[in-house]
Structure formats: C-alpha cells, structure tokens
Amino acid sequence: MKIKLFSYNQLDTLIHQLSGLTKLLCFLIMIFTVILTYDIRVLLFMLAFAIVCFRISKIPFDQVKLIFGYILVFLLFDFVLSFVFAPQYGVEVLGTRHEIFSFGGPFVLTWEELYYLSCKTMKYLCMFPVGFVFFFTTNPSEFASSLNHIGVSAKICTTVALTMRYFPDVSRDYTNISLAQQARGIDMSRKEKLGRRIKNVMALLAPLIFSTMDRVDAIANAMSLRGYGKTKKRTWYSFRALQRNDYLALAVCIVIFVISLSIRLFVTKSYFYNPFIGW
C-alpha cells in the first residue's frame, strides 16, 4: 500500500470503524484528562493508552515520522528553555527541594524541577499520538456528516471536510515544488550551510502560496457550479450512525476521565502530585 502523507487512509481496524464524531469526543475527553493533572502515574497510563490506540490504528510510522521529528525538537527546546527561564519553578509548585547538580548561580537542577519538566513533556507526548489517531483515521466526509447530524451548520461541516482534505494536497505541492527547485540546482540537503538552507526553503513559499490560491479558486468555482449554498441543508453520502463500538469507546474514555479526576480530587487533593514528600 502506498503511504499518503498527512492524509486519511482507509484501513480495516477497530479505530477506523468508529464514527468520526466518536473519535472527536474521545479525543477531547483524553485531552481534558491530560490537561487536568500533573500526576505522573496518570500521565504514564495516558501515554501507554495513547500508544496502544496508535498501534491498534496501524498508522505507518513513515506517515508521521516527519511530524514526530519536529515534535521531539520542539519538546527538547521547551524542556531546556523552561529550565533556563524558571529553574526553580518545580520547587515552588511542589514545596520541597532536593538538589541534583548546580550549574552556578540560580541554575540548580533539582528533582522537583526535573519531575515538573518531565510531567510537562509527557503531557505533550500523550496528546500527539491521540491527535495522530484522530487525524489519520477519520474520513473527512464522514466526520463532516456526523457533525451536521448533531446540529452543526452544513457550511461549517463542509469547511471542516475541505480543510482536512487540503493537508495532503499542500504536502504533495510542497514535495513537487521542492523537487523542481532541486532540479534547478537549489540545494536543500545537509551539505548546504544552515543559513543557506533556510533561505532556499523560504524560496518555496511563494510558489506554494500561488498554487494554494489557484486550488482555492478551483474549489470555489466547482462548488458554485454545483449550486452549493442555495439551501441550508444538504445530503451526505458517507454518514455513519453510532454503533455499539462507538458507545463502548466513549464509555472507556469517560471512565478513564472520571478515575483521573477522582484521583486528583480525593487521593492527591491537588493539581500537582508530589512524590518527594518524605525524602
């Protein structure tokens, strides 16, 4: 099977069989579960759960490898800069202090700061696999029809579907323009200096923007010729009603959210769980 970057691929998996509305609700529940806690135990479970969902969906790693690489770079910069600008924030929020190593001045690495930064990084790591699962396993047309059947405007639903379908087109255009520029002798490989590479990549933006405008104009004309917008309602070819598996998936996510919230309210009784008390 040829891998389509940044687009939906139809596979026969349990997650692909779920409704787009179900996946959206599960995605939002998982995001709220991660946001509402700094408990390392809950975050570890959520990360494992997200990885399991990613494996079940059978998304080829090559399809997300580029995005995942950018995410790791972003997380590394966030980790380092958070320590540089607030080296004692973990001590402030947790209320204890256990030093590991001093870099001089206020830059003292503590277990509390390391724990805080690790939890912060893990929050991001929990969100991205779930986001990949939602984006790469959701049929744009089916998702838009599901939103329309719960009362969302047909125009908004169509915009959502077009947006989700637009990412693979932009990716393909970027690849084609990049190859054309390289054929003209513009080097974008690691052999070129970093500043020059950035300048060469920026040179791709102009043709990419123009190709985007042309595509938007073509889509607008096609929709106008088909009489889109003359009525407030429209029919959907790929609507999928909620099935038993949809309700089971929602139930699992809700149970996880309730357990996580209960741990915060009745066990730790705090937003930050401190494992260093009593050291």
Mean pLDDT for each 10-residue chunk of the chain (279 residues)? 59 88 92 91 93 91 82 91 90 88 84 92 90 87 84 80 75 76 71 70 74 76 70 72 91 95 89 81
Query: Going by C-beta distance under 8 Å and a sequence separation of 6 or more, which residues neighbour residue 264?
Result: 36, 37, 39, 270, 271
Q: Which amino acid is at 70?
A: Y
Is position 41 within any domain?
yes
- Contact criterion met (CB below 8 Å) for 63 and 136: yes
**Is 62 within the bounds of a domain?**
yes
What does the pLDDT read at residue 3?
Answer: 45
* HSE toward the beta carbon, residue 74, CA cutoff 13 A: 12
Domain annotation covers residue 45: yes
Residue 27 pLDDT: 92
Helices (H), the chain: 20-35, 40-57, 61-85, 89-94, 111-137, 140-149, 154-183, 194-202, 205-225, 244-262
Within a domain: 99:
no
Beta-bridge mates of residue 38: 272
Is residue 239 within 8 A of residue 146, CB to CB? The reply is yes
Q: Per the domain annotation, does 251 fall within a domain?
A: yes
Domain count, the chain: 1
> Which tokens is 242 given?
């909620």
How many Å apart are CA 195 and CA 184, to the nearest integer?
19
Tens digits of per-residue pLDDT, 47-99? 999 999 999 999 888 878 878 888 898 999 999 999 999 888 988 988 888 88
**Rounded distance, CA 239 to CA 165, Å?**
17
Q: What tokens does 272 get?
A: 């930050």
DSSP 76-128: HHHHHHHHHH-TTHHHHHH----EEEE-STT-EEEHHHHHHHHHHHHHHHHHH
What are the residues facing 102 on neighbouring strands?
A: 108
Domain that includes residue 24, residue range = 20-78+126-268
> Does 74 reside within a domain?
yes
Sign, Cα dihedral of 257, 17, 2, 171: negative
Classify residue 115: in a domain, yes or no.
no
**Closest to 48 in 3D by CA, of 109, 110, 103, 129:** 129
Domain assignment of residue 114, yes or no? no
pLDDT value at residue 120: 92
108 CB-contact burial (10 Å; exposed 0-12 / middle 13-18 / buried 19+): middle
